[in-house]
Amino acid sequence: MRKSNLSKSIDLKVLLLCGGEGTRLHPLTKTIPKPLVRIKNKTIIDYIVKHLKGYGLKNFLICSGYKSKMIENHFKNIKSINTKIINSGKVDILKRILDCKKMINDKFIICYGDTIANVNIEKLYNFHNSHPGIATICTYQLKQNFGIVKNNIKKQVVSFDEKPRYPGSINIGYFIFEKKIFEHIRTVTSWLDLLKILIEKRQLFAFKHDGVHITINTFNELASAEKSIDLYLDTIK
């Protein structure tokens, strides 16, 4: 994958959302925050940062909360990026973003701290700049687990789709926002309400991601991530 140095052309900061408790991974996340859960020999957040660094992004605002000190200590060992820890406590995503407002100079990236994806940041950035909206969400279309068989009224099979895609797409936790998003944030009370108002105002555009996407919300997904992480690493080298 060809990478570019976006930070040379703009002060593009990355907000990494690392404050959630990850309750579906208890008891594992009773002792460590979810972004520090390990897949093989690295943490979830290490994989995310490695990918973003490949595009020249080096200014990270770490939006922490749950077990914030452990997050802070982890980033002290990463010398190749500039980090600032913003501990907002136990609050929702909206408040975490607001706490970063004074440190945002221009458009910025938001990444969930528990989702690994080889999103092409250069293409995402160019897509965002190509439309008139103030926000871009990265989406991914899932495949169903079962083959779909269709037949006619005579019970003759007319088609078979081994792994059809769902009709909609999911949010995979990568966004680009213009700074003016803060004007809208102050008018709503939740992250979901913010996205809804952007949709109503035709200000939210979707960038389709077709590559690797790894979620780690449950122990089954964690086990699956152990098997697929090498594929992810091969694509970001």
Contact in structure between 114 and 218 (CB atoms under 8 Å): no
pLDDT-derived band of residue 2, with 50, 70 and 90 as boundaries?
A: very low
Q: 0.95 exceeded by the pTM?
A: no
CA dihedral 218, 113, 202, 12 (to 10 degrees): -160
CATH of domain 6-141+170-236: 3.90.550.10
The residue type of 191 is W
pLDDT in tens, 150-204: 666 755 556 656 655 556 788 899 999 999 999 999 899 999 999 999 999 999 9
pLDDT in tens, 201-230: 999 999 999 999 998 999 999 999 998 898
149, burial (CB in 10 Å: exposed 0-12, middle 13-18, buried 19+)? exposed
Distance CA 154, CA 58 (A): 62
% residues pLDDT > 90 (the chain): 60
Give the residue extent of every domain in the chain: 6-141+170-236
Distance CA 33, CA 36 (A): 6
pLDDT-derived band of residue 80, with 50, 70 and 90 as boundaries?
A: confident
